[in-house]
């Protein structure tokens, strides 16, 4: 059985690259999570997980991560990514992520809408949200990324 993560951090960043993959990699580096291996997860924040904005992730480690990212190679296009954590009063939280051709504010609004729906679907009260987002105007090949990293 895998251990349950006890900490998390929320990041968002954008970057350019010479191709799609390096744009994504550069956005990871700009967000401070470029030297770990992301293991993509779905949407549940463990009940006891504590927010740690200074969380240091060991290089090369496998890091459970919920993320939204968009890569675009159309100069002048605006892209955005957002991620949000919804908290209940006494149980687990829910993570939602979004990326698209929109503004930062539009991406954040989608996150709020999705968190409200997720809590309503579970019959839980949403008591607090934390959202991080970024927007980027593509120069050549750009990436916008927002992520929640979980850790032990």
Choosing from 26, 97, 99, 133, which is the catalytic residue? 97
Measured distance CA(28)–CA(105) in Å, rounded: 21
Residue 43 bears catalytic tag: yes
Residue 97 bears catalytic tag: yes
Choosing from 35, 37, 61, 140, which is the catalytic residue? 37
Q: Which residues of 14-23 are buried (b: 16+ CB within 10 A; e: fewer)?
A: bbbbeeeebb
62-72 and 37-40 beta bridge pairing: parallel
Choosing from 16, 20, 43, 88, which is the catalytic residue? 43
Token digits of residue 93 = 């939280």
Query: Cβ-count burial of 109 within 10 angstroms (0-12 exposed, 13-18 middle, 19+ buried)?
Result: middle
Residue 60 and residue 37 in contact, taking contact as beta carbons nearer than 8 Å? yes
Residues annotated catalytic, as ranges: 37, 42-43, 97
């Amino acid at each position: 059985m895998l251990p349950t993560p006890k900490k998390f951090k929320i990041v968002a960043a954008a970057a350019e690259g010479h191709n799609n993959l390096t744009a994504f990699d550069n956005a990871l580096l700009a967000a401070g999570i470029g030297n770990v291996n992301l293991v993509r997860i779905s949407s549940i924040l463990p009940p006891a997980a504590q927010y740690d904005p200074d969380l240091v992730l060991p290089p090369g480690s496998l890091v459970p991560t919920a993320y939204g990212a968009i890569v675009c190679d159309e100069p002048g296009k605006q892209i955005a990514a957002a991620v949000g954590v919804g908290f209940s009063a006494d149980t687990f939280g829910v993570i939602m992520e979004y990326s698209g051709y929109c503004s930062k504010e539009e991406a954040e609004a989608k996150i709020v809408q999705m968190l409200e729906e997720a809590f309503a679907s579970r019959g839980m009260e949403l008591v607090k949200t934390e959202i991080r987002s970024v927007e980027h105007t593509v120069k050549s090949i750009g990436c916008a990324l927002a992520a929640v990293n979980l850790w032990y």
